Amino acid sequence: MDVLYDLGRAGYEAYLVGGGVRDLLAGIQPKDFDVATDAKPEEVRDVFRRARLIGRRFRLAHVRAGGEIIEVATFRAQPRSPEEGEEQAEEALDDHDHMLDEGGRILRDNVYGSLEDDAFRRDFTVNALYYRVTDFSVVDYVGGMDDMVARQIRLIGDPETRYREDPVRMLRAVRIANKLGFDIEVATAAPIRELADLLTDVPGARLFDEVLKLFLSAQAEKNFDDLIELGLFQVLFPQTAACLHQDGVETLIRGALQGTAARVREDKPVTPAFLFAALLWPALRDAMASAIENGQNLAQTIPEHSGDVAAEQVETVALPRRFSTPMREIWALQPRFHRRNGRRPERLAAHPRFRAAYDFLILRAAAGEETDELVQWWTEYQQGNAPVPPAGGPNPKRRRRRRRRTGETPTSD
């Protein structure tokens, strides 16, 4: 509200827009707020001296208000393409504005326009509602209020054209619909399966962010179902999709998603490392199958193949090393749960990834990969109730090393 009022006092129009308005109308507490204004980014910075201008494809201002960051964007106009004329294209490039490539995908998004222009260039009608602080009204050019009442997600304009402009809109349609408990309007859903492969042209880092929004949420399992139904999961996780028919695969993934959703609802921390460990484990298990048949044990095979699975996954969805490393550690610890003699349980329990690996073991047992007895033993061990088998007899090699170190003289037993 401070940002809206300050822009108004400086002589500019300013509206709350997008997810903040949509969620408030749906009775959901918004996570963030966006502001749309007729002030250019540089003019916003003149009003708010601490504002920071960001973005090249979509230039906007980040304004700090209290402990929050408010995104302030200038009204945008509809896309322009080079085919609209050489003069207009040159003007567009000079203004660093909204340009499309030959496939219709947005390259730059900085053509400034009016409030009405801005409404029609937004993705979904429910995201094109503007709260005006001067008279406490909601401005609606696209029928967003009607769609809120009808509980449906509808694209503004021709769906195929809008998806080609930005294929991520297909993922957003699923996420927003399930977040609000709405349906995707028939015409909006119709082209998705045919256009799903367009996601392969989206930068992997952007898809990683979208995957987290889809799966680190209270609606994680419903998002998973809809992504599969619309052919989107198969593009995002092709290795995993190829394993979905195998016994236990969906059980393991759904268990992870259900657990994640429960933690989100309880406001507990969640980590992408555990999520990706579950999503990619079926692909790793499939890759290891032939090696295990040839006599390699699980402990040898996991490190050998985990890197290959992760490398293939980042061809579509990026996986930063800060998450891929703990993911691979969770995998690598799985064989160690079978080693329960001597001090091995103690050393495993001291590992920083032990708790995540234990939770992953529970998922694998539910999927039929491990025994309930193994899980029960480790549960009791953590409670201090599980008997630990003694270590094996004296190790001759270890005894010889001790003698060399201490100068001990061999004696007969």
Which amino acids are annotated catalytic?
Answer: 32, 34, 123
- Look at the block and give the residue holding tokens 């406001």: 267
Nearest to 201 by CA among 172, 154, 163: 163
Q: Are the C-beta atoms of residues 192 and 234 closer than 8 Å to each other? A: no
Q: Are the C-beta atoms of residues 209 and 244 closer than 8 Å to each other? A: no
Q: Enter the tokens of residue 115.
A: 């409030």
User: Which run of H or E residues covers position 65?
Assistant: strand 60-65
Nearest to 337 by CA among 378, 391, 300, 288: 378
- Look at the block and give the residue holding tokens 């827009």: 17
Amino acid identity of 345?
P
- Look at the block and give the residue holding tokens 């989107």: 232
How far is 27 from 267, CA to CA, in rounded Å? Answer: 19
The conformation of residue 351, written as its DSSP 8-state character, comes to S
How far is 379 from 301, CA to CA, in rounded Å? Answer: 26
Q: For the chain, what is the radius of gyration of the CA atoms?
A: 27
How far is 249 from 281, CA to CA, in rounded Å? Answer: 9
Q: Are the C-beta atoms of residues 188 and 173 closer than 8 Å to each other? A: yes
